[in-house]
Homo-oligomer: A and B are copies of this chain.
Amino acid sequence: MDPIRIAVVGLGKIARDQHLPAIRGNPAFSLAATVSPDDPGPVGVPHLARLEDLLNKGPAVDAVALCTPPQVRYGLAAMALKRGVHVFLEKPPGATLSEVAALRDRAAKVDATLFAAWHSRFAAGVAPARAWLSDRKVERVSVTWREDVRVWHPGQAWIWEPGGLGVFDPGINALSIITHILPRPVFLKTATLSIPENRAAPIAADLQFCDTAGADIHMDLDWRQTGPQSWDIEVETDAGTLKLSSGGAVLTLPTGTEHADDLEYAGLYARFANLIRGGRSDVDIDPLRLVADAFLRGRRETVAAFHD
């Protein structure tokens, strides 16, 4: 079977740290080109400034991975799907729910694969956590996602703009995990969003969710954490407490702790190849829907200005 010729569009931190190595490590893919307005320096494959140039002039591609900021992703994805090119969407899959729904319709019409990727769902502890919780009664969930934005998003102005999500950019990773591992649907009850006085997006958020059996789910998101970073989920059940830490990499059950290597992006690209070979799409908008609900329903408070 010929490898899937893929181009990576948008060459920021996540593309360089994760996408290019994952593609190079998977023989189902061959990296055909990179696309970004700036010169990326030597990557070893043809480079183009714009996706339009790639699609018009080649090299030929079967798929693109879109790693640009979400605000411009719809136009790029629609352009690729129009040519029947498969599309991998970095998270969040778009700047709005309605544009992701429109892309899903479009992909179905042209028989191309659309994959809304949630990398944290491929963290090592997540699949076994989901299996363990599937027949448990969930009593309470506590999510703590506290990190230092200056370390993880240095100088990324787009993340503070409308559509850039602010602290929900990491927070949506936690949401992608809990919507995947909890056995019942989750919905938002109340939210408080803390917005720096000089920015459009929240730097912190306190969220109360609930599942359909009434279990409380509390989420504490904060981008002002210096020192130790926390990406932890605790689920209290009738059979004891499950804990996922390090963003899902480390799973602790009442029976002990399991560590495993980080294979998130390797898992994502294996999934993308399977979807393409099988002629299917995978577009789950639940995590982004919960974020939209927090913006819709949440109370806002203004906090101190944030300067990079």
User: Would you give the shortest CB distance from A28 to chain B, in whole angstroms?
Assistant: 31
Measured CA separation A229–B244 after assembly (Å)? 55
Given contacts A98-B185, A98-B187, A299-B200, contact A106 B212 (CB under 8 A): yes
Q: Are B162 and A99 closer than 8 Å at their CB atoms? A: no
Neighbouring B residues of A105 by C-beta, 8 Å: 185, 212
Say which size band chain A's interface belongs to: 20 to 34
Given contacts A163-B297, A299-B162, A300-B200, contact A292 B97 (CB under 8 A): yes
Copies of this chain, complex-wide, total 2
Query: Which residue of B is nearest A104, CB measured?
Result: B185
Q: Are A292 and B300 closer than 8 Å at their CB atoms? A: no
Neighbouring B residues of A293 by C-beta, 8 Å: 96-99, 292
Neighbouring B residues of A300 by C-beta, 8 Å: 200
- Find residues 186-226 in chain A having any chain B CB closer than 8 Å to their own CB: 186-188, 190-191, 200, 212
Proximity string of chain A (62-95) to chain B, C-beta cutoff 8 Å, 1 when within and 0 when not: 0000000000001000100000000000000001
Q: Are A188 and B99 closer than 8 Å at their CB atoms? A: yes
Query: Which residue of B is nearest A168, CB measured?
Result: B296
A101 contacts the other chain (CB 8 A): yes
Q: Are B212 and A102 closer than 8 Å at their CB atoms? A: yes
Q: Which of A162, A286, A293, A296 has the most CB of B within 10 A?
A: A296
Given contacts A105-B212, A292-B292, A292-B293, contact A98 B299 (CB under 8 A): no
Query: Which residue of B is nearest A187, CB measured?
Result: B98
Q: Are B289 and A188 closer than 8 Å at their CB atoms? A: no
Neighbouring B residues of A106 by C-beta, 8 Å: 212
Q: Are B297 and A185 closer than 8 Å at their CB atoms? A: no
CB contact between A187 and one of B101, B188, B295, B296 (< 8 Å): that residue: B101
Q: Are B187 and A96 closer than 8 Å at their CB atoms? A: yes
Measured CA separation A187–B78 after assembly (Å)? 13
Measured CA separation A293–B291 after assembly (Å)? 10
Residues of A at under 8 Å CB distance from B?
A: 74, 78, 95-99, 101-102, 105-106, 162-163, 185-188, 190-191, 200, 212, 286, 289-293, 295-300
Closest 10 CB pairs of A and B: A98-B187, A96-B293, A292-B292, A99-B187, A295-B295, A292-B296, A295-B296, A163-B297, A102-B185, A162-B299
A-B contact pairs, 24 of them (CB 8 A): A78-B212, A95-B296, A95-B297, A96-B187, A96-B296, A96-B297, A97-B289, A97-B296, A98-B188, A98-B286, A98-B290, A98-B293, A99-B187, A99-B293, A102-B185, A105-B212, A162-B297, A162-B298, A162-B299, A163-B296, A200-B300, A289-B292, A292-B292, A296-B296
